[in-house]
Amino acid sequence: MKYPIGIQSFETLRKGGFVYVDKTDLVYQMVQGHVYFLSRPRRFGKSLLVSTLRAYFEGRKDLFEGLKIMDLEKEWNVFPLLHFDLNLVNKQDPDGLLNYLFDVISKAEQTQGIEPLRDESTASPTRDVARRFAHLIEELHRQSGRQVAVLIDEYDKPLLDLLETGSASDASRLEADRETLKYFFATFKAADDHLRFVLLTGITKFSQVSMFSGFNQPDDISFDQRYDTLCGITESELYSVFAESIQALAEEDGCSVAQIKAELKDRYDGYHFSRKLTDVYNPFSIINAFAKRSLGDFWFASGTPSYLVRLLSHTQEDVMKYTSQEYAIDEFVNYKADAAQPLPMIFQSGYLTIKSYDRAFGLYRLDFPNNEVRQGFLTLLANDYFQKTDSTQPWIVQVVKSLQSGDLELTRRLFTSFLAETPYAMRPKKDQKDRELYFHYTFYLIMRLISCYTVYTEKQMSEGRADCIIETQGKVYIFEFKLDGTADEALRQIRDRGYARAYEASGRPIYKIGVSFSSKTGTIDDWKTE
């Protein structure tokens, strides 16, 4: 089986004999509409979808032989088509977006023999590109007698590159690019009679800046249950299309097919793009796992979500606020990309997903989709938060081993040294509440990194909330933390509030650990166990 790693061209995929998960019935359903917007995480198949639509509107019937659409489409008409891939905008060019748009439009004018619209009275390049685009669409319709299809892939990439960088020039360029896209998209409203189909793809929709105000509002299918499996791989598709691959991976790892299926689900499944909660696997990771016959963190390793880290760096609230919490839909599907409200960006970027839906109250519970995202995202946040230049993975392995063996003295040394390496400038100096929040978030991030164990932070018990409880297969660790206090005080609180009672019947040894952090040194200055 040939796996299409790095291939986003439908033509190359089909002609090259690469494995293809057939979504063309949904493509056919989609092209019955008019103007769409689709948000999906990066490397989730948006560009392949755009390429598939391009082949459809070019009438490339040969590429669709043997696929579901052949039973649906009878005419295979050829439509004039304009394709913009904003991934190709030159990030280093201050006028990169404008220059790219002019370049695509100019090439289409030359190819079709269309005289560019000239109007020397227009002094704004932003308005010029929109007017030339509208003229091009009208002329293509007039020449061919058929309406025009327009595909715009990753429209928000130039904006995300500039978001919250802290640079005054980037902020100015961001506003200019938003203005450019506002006028560019307004073209669709004016040219509506000349348009057969329009699709915009991206990660997020910057609606709060009225970028689409002049645009006939597209049908946003990002959260539409009709199209929730349009990108990605469902479990039934995984088991049918990749049955041989699963078997080969099981043989490679020396385990059963059932075990491999469970591991694939745990690591790569868990995405839900509507309240229907249809499981969707990460296609990029699945393809790479089968091609390399190894389970790795392929999606997360393929790119750093720097714009998201930049957003989160502005907030003092920890990730715990967003995970395993319930929200009304407007709280996470409102497309606001700003530091004050990072939740929608976390969700749209694929680092959180819907895990359940409470129909009675209209509330959605969000959490990490799977272990690949959980571990990768928290490691990324920790490295940025602690300003680590090297990987935290070796340290995590040592901590896990120390807890596994019950060597709490080694655990203490590992935590102490880790915190001692955290830059002094990061620690709040004045406000007691901020200092407590810093140490709470610090330990929370560290504990969440140890994902091979069950970790609870701020766990509600009958007589209070335990700061942290770690459950291994053979042991239970109960931590209580104090800032500028004593380990004895922390231990006393564990005993007085009965945090261990819930585990006494489990038969596992229970370790109580009192820890005191020093706001002066930034690390542990007192640690006692019993």
pLDDT tens-place string over residues 73-102: 999 999 999 999 999 999 899 999 999 999
Q: Is the pLDDT of residue 204 over 70?
A: yes
Q: Is 446 a residue whose pLDDT tops 80?
A: no
Of 152, 174, 203, 187, which Cα lies nearest the Cα of 43? 203
φ and ψ at residue 363, rounded to 5 degrees: -110, 145
pLDDT at 389 over 70: no
pLDDT of residue 302: 83
Q: What is the pLDDT of residues 107-130, one digit of tens each?
A: 999 999 999 887 655 568 888 899
What does the block give as tokens for 455?
Answer: 């970790």
- The mean pLDDT of 508-521, rounded to a whole number, is 90
pLDDT of residue 477: 92
CB-based contacts of 474: which residues, under 8 Å, 6+ apart? 508, 509
Task: Report the alpha-carbon distance of residue 125 to residue 450 in Å, rounded.
Answer: 53
Distance set, CA 143 to CA 77, 139, 194, 337, 457 (Å): 15, 6, 11, 41, 66
Task: Find the mean pLDDT for residues 463-489.
Answer: 88
Residue range 361-373: mean pLDDT, rounded: 93
Q: Would the pLDDT of 36 be above 60?
A: yes
- pLDDT at residue 484 tops 50: yes
Mean per-residue pLDDT for 212-217? Answer: 64
User: Where do the domains of the chain lie, and which CATH numbers do they carry?
Assistant: 10-227 (3.40.50), 233-301 (no CATH), 306-371 (no CATH), 392-529 (no CATH)
Mean pLDDT of 38-47: 94
* Phi, psi dihedrals of residue 507, rounded to the nearest 5°: 80, 0
pLDDT in tens, 148-189: 999 999 999 998 888 877 789 998 999 899 889 988 998 998
Predicted local confidence at residue 7, as pLDDT:
95
Dist CA 375 CA 396 (whole Å): 11
Specify whether the CB–CB gap between 314 and 164 falls below 8 A. Answer: yes
Other CB atoms within 10 Å distance of the CB of residue 16: 11
Question: What confidence tier does 208 reach under pLDDT thresholds 50, 70, 90?
Answer: very low
> Of 354, 30, 23, 49, which Cα lies nearest the Cα of 219?
30
- In three-state secondary structure terms, 329 is helix
pLDDT at 490 > cutoff 90: yes
The pLDDT value given to residue 28: 98
3-state secondary structure of 277: coil
**Which residue would you say has higher pLDDT here, 459 or 293?**
293
Arithmetic mean of pLDDT, 470-499:
91
- pLDDT for 105 equals 97
**pLDDT at residue 263 greater than cutoff 90:** yes
Q: Give the neighbor-by-neighbor strand order of the sheet with 148-153.
A: 81-85, 148-153, 195-202, 35-39, 219-220
Q: Is the pLDDT of residue 324 over 60?
A: yes
Residue 210 has pLDDT above 60, yes or no: no
Percent of the chain exceeding pLDDT 90 equals 58
- Residue 209 pLDDT: 47
Average pLDDT over residues 492-506: 91
The answer to whether the CB of 330 falls within 8 A of the CB of 44 is no
What is the C-alpha to C-alpha distance for residues 332 and 335, in angstroms, rounded to an integer?
Answer: 7
Query: Which SS3 state, helix, strand or coil, does residue 366 take?
Result: strand
Backbone φ and ψ for 529, nearest 5 degrees, come out as -130, 155
Question: Which backbone phi and psi does 347 adopt, to 5 degrees?
Answer: -65, -50
- Which has more confidence, 182 or 439? 182
What's the chain's average pLDDT? 88
Percent of the chain clearing pLDDT 70 (strictly above): 88
pLDDT of 349 strictly over 80:
yes
Q: In 94-242, where does DSSP find H-type helix? A: 96-112, 125-144, 157-162, 168-190, 235-241
For residues 374-382, average pLDDT = 78
Q: Which has the minimum average pLDDT: 301-315, 324-338, 459-473, 510-524? A: 301-315
More confident residue, 471 or 56: 56
Q: Report whether pLDDT(337) > 70.
A: no
